[in-house]
Structure formats: structure tokens, C-alpha cells
Amino acid sequence: MGNRGMEDLIPLINKLQDAFSSIGQSCNLDLPQIAVVGGQSAGKSSVLENFVGRDFLPRGSGIVTRRPLILQLVNNKAEYAEFLHCKGRKFVDFDEVRQEIEAETDRITGSNKGISPIPINLRVYSPHVLNLTLIDLPGMTKVAVGDQPPDIEHQIRDMILQFITRESCLILAVTPANTDLANSDALKVAKEVDPQGLRTIGVITKLDLMDEGTDARDILENKLLPLRRGYIGVVNRSQKDIDGRKDIRAALAAERKFFLSHPSYRHMAERMGTPHLQKTLNQQLTNHIRDTLPGLRSKLQSQLLSLEKEVEEYKNFRPDDPTRKTKALLQMVQQFGVDFEKRIEGSGDQVDTAELSGGARINRIFHERFPFELVKIVFDEKELRREISHAIKNVHGVRTGLFTPDLAFEAIVKKQIIKLKEPCLKCIDLVIQELINTVRQCTNKLGSYPRLREETERIVTTYVREREGKTKDQVLLLIDIELSYINTNHEDFIGFANAQQRNVVNKKRAIPNQVIRKGWLTLHISIMKGGSKEYWFVLTAESLSWYKDEEEKEKKYMLPLDNLKLRDVEKGFMSTKHIFAIFNTEQRNVYKDLRQIELACDTQEDMDSWKASFLRAGVYPEKDQVESEEAAPADTFSMDPQLERQVETIRNLVDSYISIVNKTIRDLMPKTIMHLMINNAKDFIHSELLAYLYSSGDQNSLMEESVDQAQRRDEMLRMYHAIKEALNIIGDISTTTVSTPAPPPVNDSWIPETSPTPQHRPASSAPPPSRPPAVRGPTPGPPTLNPIPSFVAPPIPSRPGQDPFTAPPQIPSRPARIPPGIPSRRPPGAPNRPTIIRPAEPSLLD
């Protein structure tokens, strides 16, 4: 059919899509859809049938296409059709396809001319087509007939706009030659969505049915009523031809004969007819493909680079090689040890920016969580004073003591030291949990060998659990050592004389105005008082302030820290945040008329960290005072002055000594855990893990590759080669296709505006000719003056410099120089193949 460019493009696009489908991906070229728009009986369905080369669409007078038909053409060796609503059924006879379209149309719309916007999806497989999506739309009409609603015109118009508004949709505006082109509904609606005219091609049908003595020459030469991409004339089969089952190939030959023999059209016969329309659409596809390829090539090249490193390991891969298994085992264990150490000790390379690693989490346990747990246990003031009072009285017995007894001090101190056991053991449990999580994260890299991963995780976890027992024993030993001897000669101990002088225990505060912490917190307030909102909080040694944002320009409030304490708040039913509250111990309002303010963090870690920061600022947690709420004995609160002085003295001594013990424990706990557990675990992994693995089972079973890994390796190699092949194919497309620039704009102000807000260009100063569309010309000669053979007429070569996409050339109207009787270069028996056009739409039948 003279459509050489299309024939070159088919195998290249097919190879590219095959390369991608082999790895289960789509190449996403997003080729344009082609929508055929026009009035009723304008010949839209005939144009589509000519593309496919098959007679398969319903025909008749009036409104025949009553539902949109989305037609997907798929290049395939076998020729058949499939409907979306008839999955699994293949239609080989195209008469059955037409019957199924009619039946499916009637099923939704009824048999009395009703319409529906629900599309029919048809896929046609053929070796003679390029993958492409064509859309046959109902013809535009003005008057309702049958069961059609009164607003049928607007319904059809809205239906058409749904499809042609897309930027990747080419619009074939079909108008019969025997009607007034200036009033063409197809061109009006096309101009609304495509005011620049870049994707609108005018198609003039029924040129053979014009009145005798008239022709459409000036229109087809784009002189009269011009379009930016011009017009293409076609001659479809008549209803008589269709009823007589005239073959489409014969109809295309007759079309060619008509243009070559007509004196008004013979000089532009090479730019008329269905083959040229197909060629024009092919050029649009080629341009689109060339525009899409640079982005596709960049994406493929980046994928190729990311794959190359992994593929390098697999190039000489032999699964059953024993030396490979031994080498892999050694490498895996060595890498596991390196990863574990990096996660614990920290590393400058491959820093995780998404979350805290094992070492950083353990550090937070040592220096935020553990100190917080220690402080929580020693601040029940009433209970402590009652215990001291009881101890003094019990030491004196029946006597009235004149001096403050040492034994009462030791008894209280030992009771407080014993309370340290619980937070110390809790700290070890938290560290153990983080270590096991770290081991699990490091073994993720061994996922290729499930048995090896399972054994490694089991061996290391078992060892960590063994070390847990020894570490806990050592920590309990440390506390027992503290209990065994109360050293009142410690350099930091205040001593008896100083304790008597201190009537009030002064808590050490940080340096005034020192900023302890900054960060975002959510301030929870009821909806009636403004609702919850996120603010930028700044905690100093003396106050808590919050601002609108981190620039700290617009301060919302400043809250002094005096007499403040913390308490936990239960999460709401739908809340995902962790909440704690700040309140005043003297029952005063903290903020506005609120007795407490609730602050919310996104994670438990953030909340623990903020609590530790408040501790540094001297804001301590509230103690659950269940016992102190009970009715206390009268003697607790009615102490004589001498007993009260003794209680105060011992209280000061206990506070001083416990602070020394706390400092010691806070210092020794991280050291003990690091020495007995973490460092031991690192040494075990580096020196003994491999031996344990060898002794745990057969090396072959340990290094047995998982099915997923083998599949992943095969997929990766296949993807690597497919991407390389696709890049080569893209290079071929770039070098073998030639794109043409868009033609210059024309004055299309002759098309009436129908949209309330049209986008039209200023009209040029030269008005279009005022002749009517059908122009009287020289009387055409009878069609038998130049007899034409029955086989397909030859294509007429284009003249040098002549381009159908640029401004139309001024060609004299004399007869063509080349006599039409010259034999075709194609053998007479060669089939006249229809257009081969290819798509981008994702499959509608998948």
C-alpha cells in the first residue's frame, strides 16, 4: 500500500514490546488513540474498517453506532477477534463479530435507536495491523428519533468529548463532500478541544457522490476553509457495494482508480485515499514514539546501572560447585560479623538515615531510659519520711533517743539500694531485645540461604541468652557489693554535721537558661478550646516555651518549671500518639485555665527521650502514691521537734548517699553490659560462629539456595539482557524513523465557535476565499477515458520538495504527467494489505 514507514516501524516496536513483555513489564509508549468524529452516515465506520482490512462493523442508514466502540488492534500471527464481555471466546469469522456488536448494543440500549455511553471493547489480532487503539463514536445528530431522549445532541456531544479531550488522542474529523463543510459539526467540536489544530486531520468522504460538475479540489488543496494539517479525501464503499459483499481490497483499488482518473484530483492522487491517511497517522505515531524514547532510554540506562553490580556476581555462577559453597559460607559469616559490629559501634559508610540502628538504640537505653527509671524509684517523699520515722523509733525501742541513730540510716539506705535491682534488670532486658533485633536485621542478608540464616540466628541468639544470665548475675553482684558496706567516708558524702545544717534538700538544677532540648510536640487541647496543634518546644533549665515554628520568632507561651511534675496519660481509642502530661503540684493552672497540659509524641522513644530531658531540667515524674493515700497513723504526722530534726538529718544523709550509689550504678551498668554481653557477642561471632555452623550440620544443606533466590537470579539476568536489548532497539528506532515538523498555523476562524470560552487565534488579515464549498469546475470526463487495470493502481511518486504536512503547493490543474496505465511495481497477485498501526493503551481485556 505504499506505506513503507509503517512496515519498518512494526518489527521495531514489536521487538521492543517483546523485550519488555519477556520480563513482565510494559514499555509505556502510550501511543495515541485515534477517534473518528462526524455526523450520522458520514462514513466513520467505513474508515475504521479500511484500517483493519475487514468488514466487521454494523452498517445502515440513520444512527447505527449507538455505543462507543473501543477497538484495539494487536499485531499477531493469527487473525481473530475477542470481546471484553465474552472473555475466552475467539471470533474467527468477522460476520459473527458484527452480529455480536449489534446484539451487545441492543442489550444495553434496546432496539429502538437508543444510545449509551458504556463502551464496547473489541480487540482484533492480525498480522496486518500495528498495535493501536481506534474509537468509533456515535454520529452527531440534532433530532431525536425512536426511544432517543430529547437531549440526544448533548448526550452524544458529551460522549465524544470524553474521548477527544485527551492530549494523546488524534481526531479524524469526518465530513461528507456532499454537505456544507463550513457547518461541519466534527470540525466545530475538534476546534474546541484542539484550538491549535495540532491533532485534527480533516477527512472528506463521499467524493464520488458529489453533484455532477462540482468538486472539492480547493478544499482538499487546503486553500478554501483551511486546516493546519489539511484534508485527506477518501472514497468508501457504497451501501450497494456493502450489500453486494464487495471486498475491501477491491474497494481500495477502486478508490485509487477514482483519484487517478478524476481530472480535479489526479494531480494530488498521491495525497488522497485511505493509504495516505494511514501514512499520515503513521507519521504521527512515529513523532510520538521519538518524543517518548529519550525518557524511556534514560529510565532503562539507570535500571541497567543499578543491575550491573548484582549481575556481575551471577555471570559465572554454578549452583552445585562445592568450592563456591565454601567460599560463599566464609564470605557470608565474615560479612555478618562486619555488619553486626557496624550496627553496634557505628560506621561512617552506609549510614541509615531512616531509623536508629542497634548501637544508637542501646545508647539511648543507657543514657535516657535507665537514668529515668532510676529517678522514678526514689521520689516518694512522704513514704520515705514515714519509713525513716519508723526506723528511728524501732532502733530506740522503749527508750527515748537523744542522738540520731546510725542503724536507722543504714536500714533506710539498704532498702533504697535494693530498689535499684528492678531498673537494672529491666535495662539488661531492653539491651537484650535490641541485640536480638540487630542479629535478626544482620541475618536478612543471608536470605538467599534460608538454612544458613536460620542456624546463624539460632546460634547467636542462644549465645546472647547465655550471656544474659551471666550479666544479670554480675549486676546483682554489684548491688550486693553496695549493700555489703555503707561507706560514709566517701568524698562526696555530706556527713552528719552538714546534714544537720541542711533543712531543705536542694535539688541540683542545670545552669540557668541552658537549652536542654528542642523539638516538635503536639499540644493536646479539647476542640472547644482550639483543638490539638503542633508547636516547636524549647526546654531550658528554668522554663518550657513553645513557638509557632522552628524559627522561634512567634512565641506562644512560656511556662516556668517551678513545682512542675510529669505523669503518663493513656492513649485515646483512635490515637496513635504517645502522651504525657505536665501539672503543678500546688494545684495551680498550668496554661490558661488548664490544670495540666498534655504533650504528644509520635513514638515511645521520643517520649522517653523528652522525659529524660525534663529530668535534667529538674522536672520529675509523679509517684503512684497508693499507700500514702491511705489513712496514716497519727504518730507519722505528729512528730515532736527532736524526732523531726532526726528524720530531716537522716533524710539528707540518705539523699546524699543514694545519689553516690546512683552515680556509681549509672556508670557501671553500661560498662558491665558492654563487657559481659556486647563485646563478648562480637568476639563470639568473629572467632567461634563458623565452627559452630560447621558442627551444626552438613555444609551442602546449609548452603542450599532458596527457590526465591534462584528465581530472583534468573529474573535479574533476564531483565538485564532484556534491558540491553531494548536499548539497542531504541537506537534502531531513533536511526530508522524520520519525523516531520508540525505544519504552520492557518487561519481557521471560519470554523464557528460553540464553546463559551473558546481559545482561538487572531485571524490573519487575508480573508479566506468566499466561494462555497462545492465549486463549479470543468465538467469531469467520463471515468472510462483512462482505462485502469483491475489490479491495484500504482502509487504516484511525490515531486521533489513536496510535503503533505507543509503548506499546500500551488499546482496547476492540468492532467497528471504520468499516464495512469503504467503497470504497478507490485506483482498483480500481491495482497493489498491494510494499515498496520500500533498502540499504547494498556490492554482493556486484561
pLDDT of 670 above 90: yes
Same domain, 249 and 117: yes
Same domain, 82 and 221: yes
pLDDT at 835 (0 to 100): 41
Structural Rg of the chain based on CA atoms: 44
Q: Which residue has the higher pLDDT, 506 or 462?
A: 462
pLDDT at 60 (0 to 100): 65
pLDDT of 6 above 50: no
| 358-to-371, 425, 465, 508 alpha-carbon distances in Å | 19, 19, 17, 33
> Where residue 269 falls among pLDDT bands split at 50, 70, 90?
confident
pLDDT of 345 above 60: yes
| 558-to-521, 523, 544, 695, 723 alpha-carbon distances in Å | 15, 14, 6, 65, 61
pLDDT at 814 (0 to 100): 46
Listed residue (731, 818, 640) closest to 266, CA to CA: 818
Any idea what the CATH number is for the domain that residue 91 is in? 3.40.50.300
* Main-chain dihedrals φ then ψ at residue 73, nearest 5 degrees: -95, 130
Domain membership of residue 788 (yes or no) is: no
> Where residue 404 falls among pLDDT bands split at 50, 70, 90?
low
For residues 516 and 616, is the Cβ–Cβ distance under 8 A? Answer: yes
pLDDT of 423 above 60: yes
> Where residue 743 falls among pLDDT bands split at 50, 70, 90?
confident
Same domain, 610 and 648: no
Q: What is the pLDDT of residues 164-206, one digit of tens each?
A: 888 777 888 898 888 877 788 888 888 888 888 888 888 988 8
For residues 204 and 216, is the Cβ–Cβ distance under 8 A? Answer: yes
pLDDT of 347 above 90: no
Domain membership of residue 383 (yes or no) is: yes
pLDDT at 782 (0 to 100): 43
> By residue range, what is the domain housing residue 597?
515-621
pLDDT at 474 (0 to 100): 93
pLDDT at 164 (0 to 100): 86
HEC states along 806-817? Answer: CCCCCCCCCCCC
Q: Which residue has the higher pLDDT, 796 or 572?
A: 572
Mean pLDDT for the stretch of residues 329-343 = 87
| 464-to-49, 671, 679 alpha-carbon distances in Å | 76, 17, 11
> Where residue 401 falls among pLDDT bands split at 50, 70, 90?
low
> Where residue 797 falls among pLDDT bands split at 50, 70, 90?
very low
Q: Which residue has the higher pLDDT, 546 or 242?
A: 546
Domain membership of residue 139 (yes or no) is: yes
Same domain, 493 and 523: no
For residues 621 and 610, is the Cβ–Cβ distance under 8 A? Answer: no
pLDDT at 256 (0 to 100): 87
pLDDT at 631 (0 to 100): 38
Mean pLDDT for the stretch of residues 92-116 = 82
Domain membership of residue 405 (yes or no) is: yes
Strand, helix or coil for residue 580: strand
> Where residue 606 falls among pLDDT bands split at 50, 70, 90?
confident
- Whole-angstrom distance, CA of residue 485 vs CA of residue 701: 57
Pairing of strands 578-584, 596-601: antiparallel
pLDDT of 100 above 80: yes
Same domain, 90 and 238: yes
pLDDT at 35 (0 to 100): 84
> Where residue 820 falls among pLDDT bands split at 50, 70, 90?
very low
How many structural domains is the chain composed of? Answer: 3
Any idea what the CATH number is for the domain that residue 644 is in? 1.20.120.1240
Q: What is the pLDDT of residues 281-327, one digit of tens each?
A: 777 766 766 666 777 778 778 878 888 877 776 655 665 666 777 88
pLDDT of 546 above 80: yes
User: Of 254, 272, 290, which one is at a domain's C-terminal end?
Assistant: 272
Listed residue (134, 129, 13) closest to 72, CA to CA: 134
pLDDT at 320 (0 to 100): 61
pLDDT of 772 above 50: no
| Residue found under cell 511556662 | 559
User: Of 217, 239, 272, which one is at a domain's C-terminal end?
Assistant: 272
Q: Which residue has the higher pLDDT, 216 or 382?
A: 216
pLDDT at 573 (0 to 100): 62
Mean pLDDT for the stretch of residues 110-119 = 76
| Neighbour tally for 130: CB within 10 Å | 25
Which amino acid, one-letter code, is at 165? T
For residues 186 and 140, is the Cβ–Cβ distance under 8 A? Answer: yes
* Main-chain dihedrals φ then ψ at residue 210, nearest 5 degrees: -70, 155
User: Of 561, 592, 621, which one is at a domain's C-terminal end?
Assistant: 621
pLDDT of 52 above 60: yes
> Where residue 769 falls among pLDDT bands split at 50, 70, 90?
very low
Mean pLDDT of the chain: 75
- Dig out the grid coordinates for 638 from the structure: 505528729
Mean pLDDT for the stretch of residues 44-56 = 78
For residues 368 and 517, is the Cβ–Cβ distance under 8 A? Answer: no
pLDDT of 384 above 90: no
In the chain, what percentage of residues exceed pLDDT 70?
A: 72
pLDDT at 9 (0 to 100): 56
pLDDT at 120 (0 to 100): 86
pLDDT at 634 (0 to 100): 39
Mean pLDDT for the stretch of residues 206-225 = 82
For residues 384 and 651, is the Cβ–Cβ distance under 8 A? Answer: yes
pLDDT of 586 above 90: no
pLDDT at 798 (0 to 100): 43
In the chain, what percentage of residues exceed pLDDT 90?
A: 7
pLDDT at 129 (0 to 100): 72
pLDDT of 710 above 80: no
pLDDT at 813 (0 to 100): 45
Domain membership of residue 692 (yes or no) is: yes
pLDDT at 512 (0 to 100): 58
pLDDT at 676 (0 to 100): 92
pLDDT of 253 above 90: no
Q: Which residue has the higher pLDDT, 829 or 250?
A: 250
Domain membership of residue 723 (yes or no) is: no
pLDDT at 655 (0 to 100): 81
pLDDT of 141 above 50: yes
pLDDT at 678 (0 to 100): 92
> Where residue 585 falls among pLDDT bands split at 50, 70, 90?
confident
DSSP 712-728: HHHHHHHHHHHHHHHHH
Same domain, 114 and 227: yes
pLDDT of 67 above 80: yes
> Where residue 528 falls among pLDDT bands split at 50, 70, 90?
low
Mean pLDDT for the stretch of residues 716-737 = 73
Domain membership of residue 663 (yes or no) is: yes
Same domain, 177 and 38: yes
Same domain, 433 and 391: yes
Mean pLDDT for the stretch of residues 107-123 = 79
> Where residue 471 falls among pLDDT bands split at 50, 70, 90?
very high
Same domain, 485 and 535: no
pLDDT at 355 (0 to 100): 72
Same domain, 617 and 652: no
pLDDT at 669 (0 to 100): 92
Same domain, 266 and 374: no
Domain membership of residue 26 (yes or no) is: no
For residues 173 and 193, is the Cβ–Cβ distance under 8 A? Answer: no
User: In sequence order, what are the beta bridge partners of 171?
Assistant: 35, 200
Same domain, 384 and 495: yes
Any idea what the CATH number is for the domain that residue 582 is in? 2.30.29.30
- The answer to pTM > 0.85 is no
Mean pLDDT for the stretch of residues 330-347 = 86
Query: Containing H/E element for 232?
Result: strand 231-233
pLDDT at 350 (0 to 100): 66
Lowest-pLDDT choice from 329-343, 433-447, 621-635, 642-656: 621-635
Q: Which residue has the higher pLDDT, 661 or 507?
A: 661
